[in-house]
C-alpha cells in the first residue's frame, strides 16, 4: 500500500480545526469525485476520525499545540492507485490549507 502523510500546524484551536476538517471530509464534492462511496466516522471527544472507501483508508487526528492545533491526515492507497498518489496528496493538502486558513 502507498501511504500519504500530511501534517500541518494551525492557528485555529483544536475544536475549530477539527470541525472545519470534519465538514470538508464529509461534504466536499471534489473529494467525493476521488471515491464517491467513502464514509466518515468521527470521535468528537478524541478529535479524530476515519474515512473508508472502496479505494482508500484514511485517518484524521487533531491535537492542541500551544494556542493552536496540529493536524495529521494519513491515507493508505492500494498499490494499483499508487500512480495517483500525487494527485490525492495535492488535493488533500489544498483542501486542508483552505479549511485551516
Give the residue numbers spanning the domain of 70. 2-96
* pLDDT of res. 31: 83
Task: Note whether residue 101 is domain-resident.
Answer: no
Grid-cell match 466536499, residue found: 28
Q: What is the pLDDT of residues 30-39, one digit of tens each?
A: 888 878 888 9
pLDDT at 100 over 90: yes
pTM for the predicted model, two decimal places: 0.87
Task: Note whether residue 48 is domain-resident.
Answer: yes
CA atoms of 71 and 90, how far apart (whole Å): 16
Strand order across the beta sheet in which 39-43 lies: 2-10, 68-77, 57-65, 48-52, 39-43
Percentage with pLDDT > 90 across the chain: 67
Average pLDDT, rounded, for the chain = 92
Q: Total structural domains in the chain?
A: 1
CA atoms of 12 and 2, how far apart (whole Å): 30
Indicate which CATH number applies to the domain containing 23. Answer: 3.30.530.20
Amino acid at each position: 500500500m502507498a501511504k500519504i502523510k500530511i501534517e500541518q500546524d494551525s492557528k485555529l484551536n483544536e475544536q475549530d480545526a477539527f470541525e472545519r476538517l470534519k465538514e470538508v471530509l464529509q461534504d466536499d464534492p471534489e473529494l467525493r469525485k476521488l471515491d464517491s462511496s467513502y464514509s466518515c466516522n468521527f470521535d468528537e471527544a478524541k478529535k479524530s476520525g476515519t474515512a473508508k472507501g472502496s479505494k482508500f483508508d484514511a485517518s484524521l487526528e487533531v491535537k492542541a499545540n500551544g494556542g493552536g492545533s496540529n493536524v495529521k491526515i494519513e491515507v493508505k492507497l492500494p498499490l494499483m492507485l499508487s500512480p495517483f498518489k500525487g494527485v490525492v496528496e495535492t488535493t488533500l493538502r489544498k483542501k486542508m490549507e483552505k479549511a485551516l486558513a
